[in-house]
Amino acid sequence: MSRWLGVAAAQLGPIGRNEPREAVVKRLVRLLREAHERGAELVVFPELALTTFFPRWALARSVADQWFETEMPGPATKPLFEEAALLRVGFFLGYAELTEDGHRYNSAVLVERDGSIVARFRKVHIPGHETEEPWRSFQHLERHYFEPGPDSFGVWEAFGCRVGMMLCNDRRWPESYRVMGLQGVELICCGYNTPIHYAPDPSQDVLAGFHNQLVLQAGAYQNGTWVVAAAKGGIEEGVDSLAQSSIVAPSGQVVAQSLSADDEVIVARCDLDWCSRYKSTLFDFARYRRPELYGLITASSDDPGRSGPSRRDVTP
């Protein structure tokens, strides 16, 4: 008897700089209802799903605070929690978090079908730069606005399986998947905002979609897990971002993918026991891994000679 779970990636199109939270939440509720009608019990929303992707602008942190949540759920997000509990659909939601003691994180919550919060995740790998770089046609100041998450990649018992979370840039790093894989993850939720133009090396622009598929499919296969990845895509405040939201099976096969760069729901009925076919054969970690030979992976990157050159100081 297999365990089955209906999942959805609820892709968002652009969110305007002045679009009120309440209007965005109405869009999220519409997507949630459609996902429910199409059989989903878990809906994955994008990274920073309540606001425009504000790291594209150089602003004082106090100005950007308008885009941060100080509570979850708060007054604007409560309708989403209520509708989800009514429909008995859970969700993963990315948002900017400002803690009581003044820390700012790029975060996500996982909410169960009864509306209870299972866990919160804070993005581990923060890409981009710390200060304004005027040569860029738009900024990517995530390192100005967000601290790196202090916790690792957890895995939680929820939705009848083992669920993990990651946000955008985390999906490019094999360590993200493997840390969850070592905890027996069966389904990874991921939200992303990926500008197609990559200013430090524009030769990568044409490969944005390929790189997205490459990492999602490899991460799923190498760890025998489902991956549900939702984009905020389309041209937002003049910046074009990758759509291509995807649901990937433990085999590495893409079972559903968005067709537009706008609000769009994709669904899949996931056989959770498909994971064990990979976890107990080719990727039987206990039997085949050689962790005693992998020390370099967890050695500090401050060790001389360990890391390659950084392009941080390279002038365009």
| Tokens 């990157």 belong to residue | 301
Check residue 219 for interaction with ligand CDV (CB under 6 A): no
Strands 161-167 and 187-192: parallel
Residue of 11, 139, 194, 223 that binds ligand CDV (CB under 6 A): 194
Contact positions with ligand CDV (CB under 6 A) in 276-305: none
Sketch the per residue contact string, 35 through 64, with ligand CDV: x for CB under 6 A, - otherwise.
Answer: ------------x-----------------
Catalytic residue among 41, 97, 112, 123: 123
- 21-37 and 78-87 helices, crossing angle to 10°: 10
Task: Choose between 104 and 172: whose C-beta lies nearer to ligand CDV.
Answer: 172
- Tell me whether residue 169 or residue 225 sits nearer to ligand CDV (CB atom): 169
Q: Is 232 a catalytic residue?
A: no
Near ligand CDV by CB under 6 A: residue from 64, 168, 189, 229: 168
* Interaction of residue 169 with ligand CDV, rule CB under 6 A: yes
Q: Under the criterion CB under 6 A, does residue 225 sit at the interface with ligand CDV?
A: no
8 A C-beta contact, residue 50 and residue 21: yes
Q: CB of residue 282 vs ligand CDV: minimum separation in angstroms?
A: 28
Answer yes or no whether residue 172 interacts with ligand CDV by CB under 6 A: yes
168 catalytic per annotation: yes
Shortest gap between Cβ of 310 and ligand CDV (angstroms)? 15
CB 40 within 8 A of CB 267: yes
Strands 68-69 and 42-44: unpaired
Alpha carbons 201 and 209: distance in angstroms, whole number: 15
Q: Is 271 helix (H, G, I), strand (E, B) or coil?
A: strand
Residue with tokens 């989403």: 80
Report the alpha-carbon distance of residue 39 to residue 256 in Å, rounded: 14
Rounded least distance, CB 126 to ligand CDV, Å: 8
Q: Quick check: 166 and 111 in contact, CB under 8 A?
A: no
Q: How many contiguous H segments (helices) and E segments (strands) does the chain have? A: 9, 15
| Residue 140 engages ligand CDV in binding (rule: CB under 6 A) | yes
Report CA-CA distances (Å) from 177 to 227, 236, 300.
10, 29, 19
6 binds ligand CDV (CB under 6 A): no
Active site residue 161: no
Q: Active-site residue numbers? A: 47, 123, 168
- Chain residues binding ligand CDV by CB under 6 A are 47, 127-128, 140, 168-169, 172, 192-194, 198
